Amino acid sequence: MTDQRSTIINALARAIGHVASGNDTEAHDIIRTLAKNIDTQRTLPGMEPPAVKVPVDESRKLTAMELFRYWQRECEHTAARPTPERLSKVVARLRDGYSAAEIRKAIDGAKHSAFENDDGKRFDDLELICRNGTKLEQFIERGLKSTGDIVVEQASTGGIEEQIAALRRTMAQLRKDGRTTEYEAHARDLAALMAKRGSK
């Protein structure tokens, strides 16, 4: 890093010297050459490194991989692989506007109350959990019932997400208090909000 700093200082000093003597063309050439040769991924001492922006789709793929690992651990599928079918369904639900917390809650629902046939086969594959919005919401509801808590994380879509989170908090309390009629009324409001979010 010290060598790079010295090189930059010397090149700038030469460029300033050319500007002072009226040779602007030579100064421009030095600066252009310097700009091409500087390692843009590194910074000078004391400078903050440039912020790395991750494209939205790349971010969703990373989140999908984290959710796969969560599912693998929680549903005890240690030998499972992150297949394209599994990851693409998770990415599709993230694209629909569901948050990572909602998908984790759906995984919790599969962990605690997945359907099991007479042969003992559990239907809790990540591809099934995230097959479509309806299926995901069924597993989210199972997760909410099994753990008794709510989804707290808010997505970046603002107002609607805040309303959904608030409704879920209220519904969790109503369920604990056994106020079924009010709970069902809020459930209809929640369904309407989720449909509105899906149309955005």
Per residue of the chain (200 residues), give pLDDT as tens: 456 677 777 778 888 887 877 778 887 788 777 776 665 545 555 666 656 565 777 888 899 999 999 999 999 999 999 999 999 999 999 998 889 989 999 999 999 888 888 888 889 999 999 999 999 999 998 888 876 655 544 444 446 777 777 777 777 777 777 877 777 777 777 777 777 766 55
Tally of structural domains, the chain: 2
d(CA 31, CA 109): 60
What predicted TM-score, i.e. pTM, was given to this entire model? Answer: 0.51
pLDDT of residue 153: 46
Residues 30, 106 within the same domain: no
From the list 103, 67, 93, the residue with the least C-alpha distance to 82 is 67
d(CA 181, CA 172): 13
Domain that holds residue 113: 56-198
pLDDT of residue 4: 66
Give the residue from 14, 30, 52 where a domain finishes.
Answer: 52
Give the residue from 13, 35, 52 where a domain finishes.
Answer: 52
Residues 123, 149 within the same domain: yes
Residues 190, 115 within the same domain: yes
pLDDT of residue 46: 60
What tokens were used for 160?
A: 């609607």
Residues 43, 73 within the same domain: no
Residues 146, 193 within the same domain: yes
Phi, psi of 123 (to 5 degrees): -100, 80
pLDDT of residue 21: 79
Residues 18, 84 within the same domain: no
Residues 36, 87 within the same domain: no
Residues 114, 78 within the same domain: yes
Those residues whose C-beta lies under 8 Å from the C-beta of residue 178, and which sit 6 or more positions away, are none
pLDDT of residue 107: 94
d(CA 34, CA 44): 14
What tokens were used for 50?
A: 């440039």
Give the residue from 28, 52, 76 where a domain finishes.
Answer: 52
Residues 24, 6 within the same domain: yes
CB-CB contact of 143 with 121 (8 Å): no
pLDDT of residue 134: 92
DSSP state of 121: -
Residues 40, 14 within the same domain: yes
Residues 185, 153 within the same domain: yes
What tokens were used for 118?
A: 């007479």
Residues 66, 120 within the same domain: yes
CB-CB contact of 120 with 157 (8 Å): no
